[in-house]
Amino acid sequence: MKIDPYLSFNGRADEAIEFYKSALGAKVNLLMRFKESPEKPAGGFPPETLNQVMHADLSIGHSRIFVTDGGCQSDKTLGGTTLSLQVTTDAEAEKRFIALAEGGNITMQMNKTFFASAFGMLTDRFGVKWMVINQKPA
């Protein structure tokens, strides 16, 4: 089994994709807009959603996340979920933390802890909660 997070950005998916490409080196494996859907609901999609992201598949390191605008009908922020970005050096932890925090809110500054040589928490500009960690060896 495997779990891939699916994030809904409600009209800001293009912006989020570009942000994660810059901040994390994300690669876009697939991007489909609502207008490109091979199946359309009766009456079609609302015109304002045609250029929105129906589904995108991003690779970040060895992980994947899926992204959508999700019909652009709900809250503009996410809640109840935190993504944990695990890196292998303190320098990379700091670099990724600073990049993700741009335009967001730091909830715990990057510091050493009993379980990590570098650990910090933030909410990015899209409302996605992140923990950035370089774990200490076991």
Q: What's the whole-number mean pLDDT along residues 80-100?
A: 92
User: Do both 20 and 40 map to the same domain?
Assistant: yes
User: Do both 15 and 63 map to the same domain?
Assistant: yes
Cβ-in-10-Å burial (0-12, 13-18, 19+) of 3 comes to exposed
More confident: 119 or 75: 119
Bridge-based pairing state of the strands 63-68 and 6-8: parallel
Domain assignment of residue 77, yes or no: no
Tens digit of each residue's pLDDT (9 = 90 or more) over 22-77: 999 999 999 999 999 888 888 888 899 999 999 999 999 999 999 999 754 555 55
Which of 1-10, 41-50, 70-79, 88-97 ranks highest by mean pLDDT? 88-97
**Which of 72, 95, 111 is where one domain is finished?**
72
**Which of 32, 48, 72 is where one domain is finished?**
72
The pLDDT score that the predictor gives to residue 78 is 54
Looking up residue 128, the CATH number of its domain turns out to be 3.30.720.110
Domain that holds residue 50: 6-72
Residue 93 has pLDDT above 80, yes or no: yes
The pLDDT score that the predictor gives to residue 125 is 96
In the DSSP assignment, the letter for residue 58 is: E
**Which of 20, 45, 72 is where one domain is finished?**
72
The domain tally of the chain equals 2
User: Do both 93 and 47 map to the same domain?
Assistant: no
The pLDDT score that the predictor gives to residue 6 is 87
The pLDDT score that the predictor gives to residue 120 is 95
Q: What are phi and psi of 58, to 5 degrees?
A: -115, 140
Average pLDDT taken over every residue of the chain = 89
105 HSE (CA, 13 A, CB side): 7
Q: 114: pLDDT confidence band, cut at 50, 70 and 90?
A: confident
Domain assignment of residue 1, yes or no: no
